[in-house]
């Protein structure tokens, strides 16, 4: 296996493990064992766990940004863009351990700083442009300060990962984020926007029902 392939494989295994178990719970020994290599081999490519986590988070952010840009390009309208984003979130959050953000903040400041930059730059601009698009399409109201709403939305997105708030309620991360996102959408929407949200909800339900029927055959 080429050196570049080995490095990418290490990052992929590390990604899969931390997504499932959380960053703090995964050791370099766990990654090495999963790959069937020695821990020393990992240290040929990454100085320590902090550097590996930073690389994993950087790749994850780049992938998510590419998905957001793609969704924006193909979305029929501003509401559809948000539903495409929810679909991406559902795939990403389905097996994600909610402790990840807390682990980043406490134990991996470099990686957390990268995430914060992504949040307050790329995500801020993406959300703001979506709202501006929705206003032009008469799908979103125009009687609010966009920057205030975007900042509130960004913090609300992080609420899903707050285990003190949701841990005892036993909700899945993906379900929490879906409900918070739809609540956000309805708050923005005009009457025209409300009707479109309901349409996309119905379309999603029909697709899910069709998928479940095919899976049970």
What is the reported pLDDT for 17? 96
The closest alpha carbon to 143, from 190, 182, 183, 181, belongs to 190
pLDDT score of 2: 61
Q: Residue 146: its pLDDT value, please?
A: 98
- Three-state SS string over 57-81 comes to HHHHHHHHHHHHHHHHHHCCCHHHH
pLDDT tens-place values along the chain, 217 residues long: 566 789 999 999 999 999 999 999 999 999 999 999 999 999 999 999 999 999 999 999 999 999 999 999 999 999 999 999 999 988 888 778 888 999 999 999 999 999 999 999 999 999 999 999 999 999 999 999 999 999 999 999 888 887 777 765 577 788 888 999 999 999 999 999 999 999 999 998 888 777 666 666 6
pLDDT score recorded for residue 216: 62
- Token pair, residue 137, equals 């399409």
Query: Residue 50's CB: how many other CB atoms inside 10 A?
Result: 14
Q: Name the residue with tokens 């980043």.
A: 104
Domain boundaries, the chain: 56-215
pLDDT at position 27 is: 96
> Please, which residues have CB within 8 angstroms of residue 119's CB and are 6 or more apart in sequence?
154
The answer to whether the CB of 58 falls within 8 A of the CB of 110 is no
| 56-215: CATH topology | Tetracycline Repressor; domain 2 (1.10.357)
Q: What is the pLDDT of residue 217?
A: 60
How much is the pLDDT for 1?
53
Q: Indicate the SS3 state at residue 140.
A: strand
């Amino acid at each position: 296996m080429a050196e570049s392939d080995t490095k990418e494989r290490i990052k992929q295994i590390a990604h899969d493990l931390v997504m499932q178990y959380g960053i703090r719970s995964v050791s370099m020994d766990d990654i090495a064992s999963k790959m069937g290599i020695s821990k020393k081999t990992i240290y040929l490519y990454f100085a320590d766990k902090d550097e590996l986590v930073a690389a994993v988070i950087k790749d994850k952010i780049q992938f998510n940004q590419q998905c957001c840009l793609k969704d924006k390009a193909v979305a029929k309208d501003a509401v559809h863009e948000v539903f495409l984003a929810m679909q991406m979130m559902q795939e990403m959050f389905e097996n994600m351990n909610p402790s990840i953000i807390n682990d980043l903040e406490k134990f991996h400041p470099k990686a957390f700083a990268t995430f914060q930059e992504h949040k307050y730059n790329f995500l801020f601009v993406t959300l703001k442009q979506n709202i501006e698009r929705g206003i032009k399409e008469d799908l979103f109201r125009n009687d609010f300060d966009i920057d205030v709403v975007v900042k509130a939305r960004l913090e609300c997105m992080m609420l899903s990962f707050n285990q003190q708030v949701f841990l005892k309620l036993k909700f899945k991360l993906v379900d929490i984020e879906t409900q918070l996102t739809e609540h956000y959408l309805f708050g923005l929407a005009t009457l025209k926007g409300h009707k479109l949200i309901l349409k996309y909800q119905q379309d999603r339900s029909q697709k899910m029902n069709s998928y479940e029927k095919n899976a049970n055959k």
